[in-house]
Structure 1
């Protein structure tokens, strides 16, 4: 399998899943501004959506979207312990968190904060919405190590990947003690450290 990635993007999520589960991935770095891979290929021809991550599966299918790729990899890992059993209450709780992170955090950071051309007012509104979501997460993490029944899961990996972006925009996390402890806890996992190195990220 080949992962198309760019340093500092949400491709870190699938990379962490692969490292947690011992899945070997071929990597292809993408310049997402020029839409070329580091070997000169036109990325638009590979992924018409133009963004990362994308995963070329062993059966030749190009899978896109972080959440889909993470779940695909988790189903193929050993042990497959980052997903939840379909039909269980934990499964639907996992889907709830993955959806929340995707729609209420991921899509608030990008495009609104990553694209200043949308204007300062849009950025201010998005920043406030993100802080409101941090309030929810911080409260949920009270007396919890992880989001889902105190079991490390895909939701934790995805949350870590997205909340890291707060530092890019000087968003303070000091008042969110539970969330800050969560981020430190995840960043100390050996698989997370190795995944960050593989993505070209030097530190948390």
Structure 2
């Protein structure tokens, strides 16, 4: 399998899932500004969406969209417990968090990374994100992982998105549960390996 990624971007969540599942992968870095691979190949020729992550399976099937990739990985490695079993409430709690992270947190950061976002709009975006981070911090109270007793896909995705907070100057004061959580996640061997492989450890 080949994972097309950008170091530290949302593709890190898929990378973490693949390593947690013990999959053998080839990493291919993408320049998202130029839409080119390391060797100069046009990324649109591989993924017409021009976005990461993209996972190319050994039979040349392409899967795009991070949440879809992560669920594919989890369902093909049930022993990893990256998603609880189908039909169980814990699975739907994990999916609930995956959706919240994708729609409320991940997309919430996007305006802060875009050069065309008006500066006067950014404080409002930061304030909205900080409110959501307090919700996450409260949800982590008394819990080692965001969706239950085990590390799941939601944790890899949440960790990925929370890593962006300092880069966009969010106020993280008073979020001790998040701070402890980030240390817990980064200490996992698969997570440490993903960070190292992307050169962002």
Question: What's the TM-score, normalizing by structure 2?
Answer: 0.95
1:137 aligns with 2:136: yes
1:68 shift after superposition: 0.9
Whole-angstrom distance in 2 between the partners of 1:95 and 1:121: 34
For residue 164 of structure 2, give the secondary structure of its aligned residue in structure 1: helix
Structure 2 counterpart SS, 1:63: strand
Secondary structure in 2 matching 1:195: helix
For the 8 Å contact 2:6–2:32, the answer to whether it is kept is yes
Who is 1:22 aligned against?
22
- Rounded to whole Å, the distance in 2 between the matches of 1:91 and 1:189 is 21
Deviation at 1:78, TM superposition (A): 6.1
Deviations 1:125-180 (A, max 9, x none): 22111111111111111111111222111111100000100121122323101111
Q: Residue 28 of structure 2 contacts residue 38 of structure 2 at CA under 8 Å; is this kept in 1?
A: yes
Given that 2:2 and 2:57 are in contact with CA atoms closer than 8 Å, whether structure 1 keeps it comes out as yes
Query: Counterparts in 2 of 1:1-204, with a 5 A limit?
Result: 1-77=1-77, 79-110=79-110, 112-201=111-200, 203=201
CA root-mean-square deviation: 1.2
Moved over 4 A (4+): none
Task: Assess if the C-alpha contact under 8 Å between 1:142 and 1:178 holds in 2.
Answer: yes
Unaligned stretches of 5+ residues in structure 2: none
